[in-house]
Structure 1
Amino acid sequence: MNNITNSIISSIIFGLIGIILLVFGYWFFDKVLTRIDFNQELKDKNMAVAIVIAGFMIAIGIIISGVVA
């Protein structure tokens, strides 16, 4: 394999690892750290909860990108 193919495969693998870690982080935050049912709050269109979740996902994404890179 050439260098470009290795780079593409590495990007896909690290991208998938990052997505898995982000989903796990969301689950952990939702089920373990808080007593709020985020899914129900989102169904009730609670904008404050949506902003908190967005901020959390951005923060976890930044942390994961720093660790994986």
Structure 2
Amino acid sequence: MFELEWLKPGVFIGSIVFALIGVLVFWICFIVVDKLTPYDLWAEIIEKKNIALAIVVAAMCLSIGIIVAAAIHG
């Protein structure tokens, strides 16, 4: 019989917990990278419209996300 494994309460709650942990780890990593840079990333991207920096930050966000996902999955 076909079962929906992901609808079981333990699996569902575990997924939510791991997602929250992943977002928390991602946010902490982003803050650390922001503090390590010599300028304010948000102001540079939003106020000064620095597209090159926005692309670098987007790549960094994707990289951190992939690392967090791999750590949680594996």
In structure 2, the residue matched to 1:41 is 44
Larger helix proportion of the pair: 1
Normalising by structure 1, report the TM-score.
0.87
Find runs of 4+ consecutive structure 1 residues off by over 2 angstroms.
Answer: none
Question: How many residue pairs are counted as aligned between the two chains?
Answer: 66
- Specify the structure having the higher radius of gyration (Cα): 2
Note the residue ranges of structure 2 that are not aligned, 5 or more in a row. Answer: none
| Shift, 1:42, TM fit | 1.4
In structure 1, the residue matched to 2:15 is 11
Task: With a CA cutoff of 8 Å and minimum separation of 6, indicate the structure with the bigger relative contact order.
Answer: 1
State the distance in 2 between where 1:61 and 1:48 align. Answer: 20
Q: Indicate the RMSD between aligned Cα atoms, in angstroms.
A: 1.1
> What fraction of aligned residue pairs are identical, expressed as a percent?
36
